[in-house]
């Protein structure tokens, strides 16, 4: 009987984890973030992050890439860390 209860609890936890996992999909805000990152438009990036909040910063496009990847790809990380262009 105890094994059955443990199994049900484990199954419930797996179902909750699967439901909580965000889906990767393209969105207008992610498109704007990519465009602003590629154009080095930090004012536009800040506008999107302020308006979109936590969810936008952690979201991913359909290919799995997101704001942190694009910051690295376009060398925005180094500039932000040191305060000067590359």
Q: Please, what is the angle between helix 28-38 and helix 42-52, to 10°?
A: 160
Question: What's the pLDDT score for residue 1?
Answer: 47
Give the predicted TM-score (pTM) of the model.
Answer: 0.64
What pLDDT sits at residue 34?
93
Are residues 26 and 62 in contact, defined by beta-carbon separation less than 8 angstroms?
A: yes
Angle (CA) 48-49-55 rounded to 5° is: 115
Mean pLDDT per block of 10 residues along the chain (86 residues) reads: 63 59 84 92 88 85 91 73 50
Hey, where are the domains in the chain?
24-86
Distance of alpha carbon 76 from alpha carbon 15, whole angstroms: 37
């Amino acid at each position: 009987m105890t094994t059955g209860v443990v199994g049900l609890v484990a199954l419930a936890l797996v179902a909750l984890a699967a439901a909580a996992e965000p889906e990767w999909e393209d969105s207008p805000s992610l498109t704007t973030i990519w465009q602003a990152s590629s154009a080095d438009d930090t004012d536009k990036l800040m506008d999107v992050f302020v308006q979109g909040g936590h969810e936008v910063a952690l979201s991913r496009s359909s290919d799995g890439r997101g704001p942190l990847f694009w910051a690295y790809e376009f060398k925005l990380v180094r500039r932000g860390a040191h305060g000067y262009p590359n």
